[in-house]
């Protein structure tokens, strides 16, 4: 009986220690997902990243992109450390999200393609980051530069070991610190942390880190096919808005390219 009580107490202590270890670092980051169009206009889509040591949930929080001024310099953008209060926008459209959990190598995402939401079971892939000696400060955080290739694009990122979690925006992760900035080699897409809250309400983060549970799910192959068809559908949309008989140029320098229309590029 005594041994059973001791075993029970030890199991409770082990559980408590494990929970505390998982949640020893929690936070919320607001990112801008930036799209730079060839015509010189840039738009930012706001996202929130909830995280603890082992899991993260990155989700869109607005259906309306923010148009960035062409004169806005990168050095004029600074990181604010402040409380993040999510303004829930009512919409019938599902928001994009990426849920990841290092335990079990779980990655689930939802992304809207051609007006259809795809919910896909993915996996956390290892990104071979090449660390640089180059450093800079973003807000009050000391950051280090790194480069890595992920699904068709090479990203330059800045991460901070001041926040020692291996998370970042979207599916970028795997460094000894939180990623605060990232951009692909052609500067078509970028991510920038705007606000950081390292003292959020515990329940807000805990509830957001539950694994998404939805009935409908597409396969990774279906998602890849949808991406490959995206350019075709994009051309059809343009033609539908033009006079009958209009033809869309192909294989020209200024023509839209499939790899420019999506973050992930698959062969």
pLDDT digits (tens, 9 = 90+) for 143-168: 999 999 999 999 999 999 999 999 99
> What per-residue confidence (pLDDT) applies to 111?
92
Helices and strands (DSSP H and E) totals, the chain: 4, 13
- Phi-psi category of 192—alpha, beta or left, where left has phi over 0 and alpha has psi -120 to 50? beta
Indicate the SS3 state at residue 32. Answer: strand
What is the CATH topology of the domain spanning 25-216? outer membrane lipoprotein receptor (LolB), chain A (2.50.20)
Backbone angles phi, psi at 153, to 5 degrees: -135, 145
Kindly report the pTM of this predicted structure.
0.81
Average pLDDT, the chain: 81
Where exactly are the structural domains of the chain? 25-216
Amino acid 62: pLDDT: 78
The pLDDT of residue 258: 57
Beta strands in 124-254 (DSSP E): 130-138, 141-150, 153-160, 178-184, 189-197
The region, left, alpha or beta by phi > 0 then psi within -120 to 50, assigned to residue 118 is beta
The kind and range of the H/E element at 55 are: strand 55-60
Cα–Cα distance for residue pair 56/65, rounded to 1 Å: 23
pLDDT (0 to 100) of residue 116: 84
Residues of the chain with pLDDT below 50 are 1-22, 71-76, 88, 90-91
């Amino acid at each position: 009986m005594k041994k059973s009580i001791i075993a029970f107490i030890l199991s409770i202590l082990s559980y408590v220690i494990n929970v505390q270890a998982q949640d020893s670092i929690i936070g919320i980051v607001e990112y801008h997902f930036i799209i730079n169009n060839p015509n010189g206009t840039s738009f930012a889509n706001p996202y929130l990243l909830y995280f603890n040591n082992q899991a993260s949930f990155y989700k869109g929080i607005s259906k309306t992109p923010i148009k960035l001024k062409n004169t806005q310099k990168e050095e004029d953008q600074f990181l604010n450390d402040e409380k993040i209060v999510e303004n829930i926008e009512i919409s019938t459209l599902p928001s994009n999200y990426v849920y990841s959990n290092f335990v079990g190598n779980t990655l689930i995402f939802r992304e809207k393609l051609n007006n259809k939401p795809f919910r896909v079971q993915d996996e956390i892939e290892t990104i071979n980051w090449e660390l640089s000696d180059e450093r800079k400060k973003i807000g009050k955080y000391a950051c280090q530069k790194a480069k890595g290739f992920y699904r068709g694009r090479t990203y330059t990122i800045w991460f901070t070991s001041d926040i020692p979690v291996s998370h970042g925006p979207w599916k970028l992760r795997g460094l000894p610190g939180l990623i605060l900035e990232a951009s692909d080699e052609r500067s078509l897409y970028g991510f920038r942390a705007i606000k950081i809250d390292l003292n959020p309400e515990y329940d807000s983060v805990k509830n957001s880190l539950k694994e998404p549970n939805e009935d409908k799910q597409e396969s990774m192959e279906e998602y890849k096919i949808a991406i490959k068809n995206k350019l075709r559908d994009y051309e059809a949309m343009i033609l539908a808005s033009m006079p009958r008989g209009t033809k869309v140029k192909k294989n020209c320098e200024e023509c839209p390219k499939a790899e420019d229309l999506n973050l992930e590029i698959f062969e």
